[in-house]
Amino acid sequence: MNKININARFLTITGMIIAGAVLRLVPHYPNFTPIAAIALFGGAYFTNKKLAVIVPFSAMLLSDLVLGYHSTFLAVYISFALIVAIGFTLRKKRSVLNIAAASISSSILFFIITNFAFWYTGAMYPMNATGLAECYTAAIPFFNSTLLGDLFYTGVFFGAFEFAKYKLPVLEKVKA
């Protein structure tokens, strides 16, 4: 059994993810949230893949207990898991360009999966190709906010942690 090494790096990464989940609970512009950012960040910085999934998922679950669940929450969590996996690709090569590309890819992935799930519920759109196209078209304004929020929060999380590593070399140690 793997032993979790609780150190400054682990606590900092976990604290930042929890802070991101808490930000979901404060008033914000629609879809301008750090959901994708916490998934990318966890995937990129936790060296233990189990922690990279468990910590962000736990933070999401706790915030969803307050916010409530909805008919497409499973699609949100599937998207979230895939975004953590995208974060894994950033482990070896974190650059501004790679992080921005991962953030944009995450936004697109989230848009495709969650809006397909919403269409599939049959709640608002006919269950045909036209209904699917209408669903995606109606969701474009929400995508704009999602994309901007993802880019903003991804920049904040990655930038803040890199700055913290610069100021506190103890965070550089790869044990979390």
- In order along its 176 residues, the chain shows pLDDT tens digits of 455 556 889 999 999 999 999 998 888 888 899 989 999 999 999 999 999 999 998 998 998 888 877 888 899 999 999 999 999 999 989 999 999 999 999 999 999 999 999 999 998 999 999 999 999 999 999 999 999 999 999 999 999 999 999 998 888 866 55
Q: Show the domain range for 153.
A: 8-170
- Per the CB < 8 A criterion, the answer to whether 40 and 154 are in contact is yes
Give the global pTM: 0.88
User: Can you tell me the distance from the alpha carbon of 81 to that of 61, in angstroms, rounded to the nearest whole number?
Assistant: 13
| pLDDT at residue number 171 | 87
In a domain, 1, yes or no: no
Distance from chain centroid for Cα 61: 13
Residue 25 within any structural domain of the chain: yes
Domain assignment present for residue 176? The answer is no
Given this model, what pLDDT does residue 53 score? 94
Give the number of domains in the chain: 1
pLDDT at 30: 85
**Cα angle: 75, vertex 76, 82; to 5 degrees:** 90
* Residue 175 falls inside a structural domain: no
